[in-house]
Structure 1
Amino acid sequence: MGYPAQVEALLQKGWVWQGQNAPLNKAENQFISTGWHDLDQRLGGGWLQGSVNELQVQQPFIGELAVLLPLLAQPETTALWVNPPAQPYAPGLHYQQVILNQQVIVNESNNKLALWAAEQALQSRSISVVLIWSNTLSAIQVRRLQQVAEAERKLAFVITPQQREEEARAYVTRLQLQRTDNLYISVLKRRFGWPLPAFPCAVDKHLPRRRRAL
């Protein structure tokens, strides 16, 4: 049964959460494994191809990049990094088997131009993943990114500070990352199912031994 026109309009804007179950045939939705078994299980299979996903971080450099390393290290992945908080450390990425000449970095202080660069990358055949660091994206801008990502069957990730208040955004997945003794991930929003409480993610195994949590 279809939705009334008013509800359908809200669904298209990403303002209504749909508590539906994960489909039995995951292949039809083209999930891409996150590289983390527990996270895959909670997201119904992994990152949904053609989606914009939010990673809210307690503070920068707590392991948000490590969560994405299995995806970035795939040989077919070419990524655009938009406004990373620090210059990516090439030897560290090489240690993680990330192909350096497949990483493109854009630093742009003008938020509109930064968003334009992200949209252009999502439409480019040369880029498969877009990473955006921003705390200023509006609901309209997120919806635009999601429309482009879905049309082009691309993955985008927005890394942003934790939100004090929940605001409607068209993100397919919203994760919140916190660190105590380990990195913990809370699933605030997912395509199929309810939000889920925090669980540990063993990202430290990707770090050199000297940098692992004691």
Structure 2
Amino acid sequence: MAYPAQVEALVQKGWLWQGQEVPANKAEQQFLSSGWAELDTRLGGGWLRGSVNELQVRQPFIGELALLLPVLSQATTTALWVNPPVQPYAPGLCYQKLTLSRHVVVHEADDKLALWTAEQALHSDAVNIVLMWHAGLSATAVRRLQQAAETKQKLAFVITPWQQQEEARAYVTRLQLERSDSLAVRILKRRFGWPLPPFPCGVDARLPRRRRAL
């Protein structure tokens, strides 16, 4: 379908979103499994390669890292953690069978330098996944990260607080996470399809027994 030039420009900037079906002949090449069957089904195959994805959390440590453990375990080079709220717990990463030498943590109080760090990591062949914690990146910042991720076919995840108003951003996927008896995931935005209501995701299966929801 042809778009007027003005509308096409908005789509390219990520300010408008276009729903569509997953091309059946490209799905396997485009996606990396999230490790969670229920999430893969709703995302059309998993995390889209070359994408920046937002995880909005009601409060920290409700299961957002458990959700990302399967994809972190697939990292073949380095995973860069930018400004995690606390220092990652090395014994916990070992329990999850992650190789510590492949995880690098950067703490940078200057927002511009933190963004620069994440962007350079996405351009680097030494890093293939970036996790970044931020109160809320600007549309320009997200667009810069998405361009870098798409160019090098890398994955990036930005963990943010819940947002009351949804401003347009160039994130490929936007999820909201909250917990009651289990982790619930709401899909606010996905590349192929419309937003979806909350559904349970069994991330507790990856946690030590003492950390699992009762």
The TM-score with structure 1 as length reference comes to: 0.97
Q: Per the alignment, do residues 191 and 29 of structure 1 end up closer, same or farther by CA in structure 2, a change over 3 Å counting?
A: farther
Q: Distance in 2 between matches of 1:78 and 1:30?
A: 21
| Per-residue Cα deviation, 1:100-143 (whole angstroms, up to 9, x for no partner) | 00001000000000000000100110100000000131011101
What does 1:176-191 correspond to in 2, within 5 Å?
A: 176-191=176-191
Q: Matched residues in 1 for 2:33 and 2:171: separation? A: 18
CA distance in 1 between counterparts of 2:37 and 2:26 reads 15
State the partner residue of 2:146: 146
Distance in 2 (CA, whole Å) between partners of 1:212 and 1:141 is 35
Unpaired runs of 5+ residues, structure 2, are: none
**Mapped partners of 1:26, 1:41: distance in 2:** 15
In structure 1, the partner of 2:61 is 61
Between the aligned partners of 1:192 and 1:114, the Cα distance in structure 2 is 30
Q: Structure 1 residues 204 and 169 mapped into 2: Cα distance closer, same or farther (>3 Å)? A: same
Provide the rounded CA distance (Å) in 1 between the counterparts of 2:196 and 2:26. 20
Q: State the SS of the aligned residue for 1:194.
A: coil
Asked if 2 retains the 8 angstrom alpha-carbon contact of 1:82 and 1:105, the reply is yes
Q: Secondary structure at the match of 1:128?
A: strand
Aligned to 2:198: 198
Give the deviation of 1:26 after TM superposition.
3.2
Q: For 1:183 and 1:3, how far apart are their aligned partners in 2? A: 39
Q: 2:113 maps to which residue? A: 113
Give me the whole-angstrom Cα distance separating, in 2, the residues matched to 1:28 and 1:206: 25
Q: How many residue pairs align between the two structures? A: 214
CA deviation string 1:120-172 (max 9, x = no partner): 10011010000000013101110111011101100000000000001100000
Matches for 1:39-58 after TM superposition, within 5 Å: 39-58=39-58
TM-score scaled by length of structure 2? 0.97
AA partner of residue 178 (structure 2): Q
1:31 paired to 2:31 = yes
Query: Partner amino acid for 1:53?
Result: N
Change (3 A) 1:185 1:77: farther
User: For the Cα contact (< 8 Å) 2:133–2:159, is it kept in 1?
Assistant: yes
Alpha-carbon distance between aligned partners in 2 of 1:188 and 1:155, rounded to the nearest angstrom: 19
Measure the CA separation in 1 of the matches of 2:71 and 2:45: 14
Q: Distance in 2 between matches of 1:143 and 1:193?
A: 21
In the alignment, residue 8 of structure 2 is paired with which amino acid?
A: E
> 2 CA distance for matches of 1:138 and 1:211?
34
Cα distance in structure 1, aligned partners of 2:206 and 2:77: 18
Partner of 1:166, secondary structure, is coil
Task: Report % sequence identity.
Answer: 71
Q: Cα distance, 1:27 vs. partner?
A: 4.0
Q: Give the conservation status (yes or no) of the 8 Å contact 1:14–1:168.
A: yes
Partners of 1:203 and 1:27 lie apart in 2 by 24
* Distance in structure 2 (CA, Å) of the matches to 1:31 and 1:16: 22
Amino acid at match of 1:104: V
For 1:211 and 1:35, locate their aligned partners in 2 and report how far apart those are by CA, in whole Å: 20
Change (3 A) 1:62 1:18: same
Instruction: Report the secondary structure of 2:127's partner residue.
Output: coil
